[in-house]
Amino acid sequence: MCQLLETIKCKDGQLFNLQFHQKRFNLARKNYSGINDVINLAQMIKIPAECKSGLYRCRVVYDETIKKIEFLHHRYRQVKSLKLIEDNQINYRYKFADRQYLEKLYAQRGECDDILIIKNGFVTDSFTANVIFFDGYRWWTPDTPLLSGTQRARLLEEGKIFVCRITSADISKYQKAGLINAMQDLQEMPVIEITNIK
């Protein structure tokens, strides 16, 4: 059985969006591993003293049980361009610790900073993030993500982004795109001009 992963933002000793990570963690253990008991992430995660200042990725690796919890210093990378990559076989319903398939797609980015994966004509995700598009009034996220991210879930619940069907042909209708994940919300995400999606 493949191991799964939760990546949780830890900034200055605080864990972010923990309720959304807990919900996905519970669902993955139940649906993927057939486990019904609940492990409380807040009780299991102990932030080391040296990680209580600054920005870190808390990585929880698990299957039926938690296998490893580690804290990695995080630095935001610059993303200004996206390469459209078509792959109709990809399946990333669960957040797998093994990302070899995604890494092979990412290696096809050429001179672009990241990729935007198209599956059966529909926009899905980038290498490490859900994508959102700005139409001049609102931010929209595709209803066909490979993985329903925790940041995406929170922003949808708060009414800060909205969901719709987006095909590769629809991309040019928008003004810009943003990449959101556990580590970056609307304020911290990279913003890409639509003309830089190729």
User: What CA–CA distance (Å, rounded) separates 6 from 44?
Assistant: 13
180 & 93 share domain: yes
Q: What is the pLDDT of residue 33?
A: 83
Say yes or no: 29 and 98 in one domain: no
The per-residue pLDDT for 36 is 87
Query: Is 31 in the same domain as 55?
Result: yes
Per-residue pLDDT for the chain (198 aa), expressed as one digit of tens each? 689 999 999 999 999 999 999 999 999 999 988 888 999 999 999 999 999 999 999 999 999 999 999 999 999 999 999 999 999 999 988 899 999 999 999 999 999 999 999 999 999 999 999 999 999 999 999 999 999 999 999 999 999 999 999 999 999 999 999 999 999 999 999 999 999 999
Q: What CATH number is associated with residue 47? A: 3.30.470.10
DSSP 3-state of 196: helix
* Domain range for 69: 4-73
3-state DSSP of 96-159: ECCCHHHHHHHCCCCCCCEEEEEECCEEEEECCCEEEEECCCCEEEECCCCCCCHHHHHHHHCC
Domains identified in the chain, total number: 2
Q: How far apart are CA 145 and CA 126, in angstroms?
A: 9
Buried b (16+ CB within 10 A) or exposed e, 151-181: bbbbbeeeeebeeeebeeeebeebebbbbbb
Backbone φ and ψ of 197, nearest 5°: -105, 115
Residues 107 and 137 in one domain: yes
Report the pLDDT value the prediction gives residue 93, as an integer from 0 to 100: 87
If asked whether residues 106 and 156 sit together in one domain, one would say yes
Say yes or no: 46 and 95 in one domain.
no
Q: 55 and 146: one domain?
A: no
**Does 112 lie in the same domain as 32?**
no
- Among residues 17, 39, 73, which one ends one of the domains? 73
- Looking at the fold, whether 103 and 191 belong to one and the same domain comes out as yes
Give me the CATH number covering residue 92.
Answer: 3.20.10.10
Q: What is the pLDDT of residue 3?
A: 94
- Are 187 and 93 members of one domain? yes
57 & 109 share domain? no
pLDDT confidence of residue 1:
67
107 and 189 belong to one structural domain: yes
